[in-house]
Structure 1
Amino acid sequence: MSGETDLIKLYSARILELAADIPRHGRLESPDATVKRRSPLCGSTVTVDIKVSDGRVSGYAADVKACALGQAAASIVGANIIGCTQDQVIAARDALKSMLKQDGPVPDAPFDGLEVLLPARDYKNRHESILLTLNASVEAMAEISAASSCA
C-alpha cells in the first residue's frame, strides 16, 4: 500500500496540471536548430525547435511525447525559456540533473518551478524523461552556437 501512496504523491495535482498544459507545444516553422531526444528506458521522446537572436532564445517549441513527469518538466521549460542564454539553459539542465541524482538544490530562476519534480528523486527510471527537454534544448543551442562561430 505504501508504494501506491508514493505514486500518488509523485503524480501530484500540480504535476498533472503542468502536464496537461504545455506552453509552446508543437513545432516552429523555421527553427535555427531542431533536436529530437528519446529516453531508451521508457520510450519518451521530445523534439525541440529553437531560434536564437542576440545570444538569447527568441523562439521555442517542443513536441512532447512523454510521461506526466516529462511533460511537467517540458511545461516549465516552455513557460520560461524565452529570453534565456545558452549558459542559463545549461545551468538549468545541470541543476535539474543534480537535484534528481545527487540531492542537489533546485534550479535557479527562471527554472525554479522544476522544484515540483523533487518527489521524482527516488524514481531513477523517470529521471531521463524529466531531463529530455532540457537536454534537447542544450543540444540545440550548442548546434546554433557552433554554426554561428563557423560563419
Structure 2
Amino acid sequence: MNELSIYQDKILSLAAENKKSIAIQDFNRSYEMKNPMCGDEVKVRIKLLNNQIDDISAIVRGCALCEASAGLTVKLFKKSEMPNSNFIEEFLNWLEYKNQNLSNSLPQEMNIFTPIRDIKNRHKCIIMPFEATIKSIKEDI
C-alpha cells in the first residue's frame, strides 16, 4: 500500500491500536457524535485536571478512518494542554484547500490524513473525534 492510499499502513495501524482501547471510567467531560450519513459514532471521555487533558478515550463504532482519527486524537491530547479554540477550523481549512499547508499550530502528525483531502465525503469521518473532543471541553478553552 502506498502513502497516498486512504488506508495506508499508518492509518490502519492507528485504527487497530485504538480499536483495542477501552473507555476511561474516571472522567469529568464527555461528548458523543454520530454521522447520520455513514453511521460512524464516537464517544469521547476526558479527565481534565488543572486545565490539562490528563486522560482521554475516544471509542468509535465506524470506519477505519474514524477509528484512526480517534487514535490520533488520544495520542495527541493525552497528558497535554488543551487544543486551541481554532483547532477544528484550521483542520477543516487544511482539508478543504489543497494548496494550503498544515498550519503551524496543528500537530504535524495530522499530515497522515493528506490522502483524504481529495475525498470530501470522508472529511467528517476524520473530523468527528477531534470535534467531539473540542466540544467536550469548549467551555474550558
Which TM-score tier does this pair reach, normalised by the shorter chain? 0.7 to 0.9
Give the Cα separation in 1 of the matches to 2:124 and 2:5: 19
Task: State the TM-score, normalizing by the size of structure 2.
Answer: 0.84
* 2:92 match: 97
What 5-or-longer segments of structure 2 have no aligned partner?
A: none
Q: CA deviation at 1:12?
A: 1.2
* 2:49 match: 53
Residue aligned with 2:11, SS: helix
5 Å matches for 1:73-84?
73-84=69-80
- Equivalent pairs counted in the alignment come to 139
Q: 4+ residue stretches of structure 1 with deviation over 6 A? A: none
Residue aligned with 1:122, SS: coil
Give the Cα separation in 2 of the matches to 1:55 and 1:49: 15
Give the Cα separation in 2 of the matches to 1:96 and 1:116: 12
Higher helix share: 1
Give the Cα separation in 1 of the matches to 2:64 and 2:36: 17
* 1:141 match: 137
Q: Residues 42-86 of structure 1, C-alpha deviation per residue, up to 9 Å, x if partnerless?
A: 111100001111111011111112211111111111112023333
Aligned residues: CA RMSD: 2.6
Task: State the TM-score, normalizing by the size of structure 1.
Answer: 0.79
CA distance 1:105–1:90, shift in 2 (3 Å): farther
